[in-house]
Amino acid sequence: MICNIKRMYVLLIGIFVCATLSLTAQKWTPETLPMVHLQDARRYVCNPDNILRITTVDSIDTQLYALEQDKGVETVVIVVKSIEGNDPYEFGMQLSRKYGIGNKKQNTGLIVILCTEDRSYQILTGRGLEGTIPDAICKRVENRVMVPLLKQSDWDGAMLATMKVLDGIIRGDESINKELEEENIGATIFFGVLLILFIAGLVFLIIIPMGVRVCPHCGKKKMKIYKRCVV
């Protein structure tokens, strides 16, 4: 009886340890990440932790297959819980060097990384795409398209919206660039007005008091003659 209890106790501990290990997020490396595109040329989304829904993955895969056929842009989308080192930029660079993502002659590779538990993300482009999607545009897409949805933990919505915008930019949709630029101009004007008001406040607080005459004895304002009256 006692032996059976001990065996049951050991079994329960083993089950608990296995469950704990399974719940622990694996920190992916460029070597361990399953590159689905190497297995199937129509697949572009690496989703080993099953963060994205299957319908989302299929939708993005279809979109990126058409983009590669039309524009020669090879894309890798990585959505995981955590990566080793928590540096999505360096992670993407290592992937690019390891697998040679993108057309070798034109260097038109595109990598989009999202690490949900690390709370990090990155859009990287090959040299051939820098003219189409420069770093400034990447930042705008991240800040204006990805981040608002990521703050809501809407991983599917964030990736669908981001890939739709990037696809449009690569295809030359001027309305997207114009919209991003207009938002940037609006923010610039807003901060410019705040700066002007701040400077005006400093002028009022510093320069105006300098013109007030003060009595050297009591420290109070001197009396002013507003109008001379002749009696």
| pLDDT per position as a tens digit, 131-143 | 999 999 999 999 9
Can you give the pLDDT at residue 21?
41
Cα–Cα distance between 231 and 228 in angstroms, integer? Answer: 10
Strand 45-46 relative to strand 109-115: parallel, antiparallel, unpaired? unpaired
Contacts of residue 34, Cβ cutoff 8 Å, sequence gap at least 6: 46, 48
Closest CA to 221 of 229, 231, 209: 209
Closest CA to 112 of 102, 103, 120, 122: 122
pTM, full prediction:
0.69
Tokens, residue 142: 């991240």
Percentage helix, strand, coil for the chain under 3-state DSSP, each rounded to 5: 55, 10, 30
Cα–Cα distance between 124 and 118 in angstroms, integer? Answer: 18
Which pLDDT tens digit goes with each residue over 44-79?
999 999 999 999 999 999 999 999 999 999 999 999
> Cβ(208)–Cβ(215) under 8 Å?
no
The pLDDT of residue 145 is above 90 = yes
C-alpha angle 33-38-44 in degrees, rounded to nearest 5: 75
The pLDDT of residue 230 is above 60 = no
Closest CA to 161 of 172, 148, 170, 178: 148
Give the 3-state secondary structure of residue 46.
Answer: strand
The pLDDT of residue 17 is above 60 = no
How many of the other CB atoms lie within 10 Å of CB of 228? 5
Which amino acid belongs to residue 110? L
The pLDDT of residue 198 is above 80 = no
Can you give the pLDDT at residue 23?
45
- For a pLDDT cut of 90, what percent of the chain falls above it? 58
> Cβ(53)–Cβ(158) under 8 Å?
no
Cα–Cα distance between 95 and 144 in angstroms, integer? Answer: 26
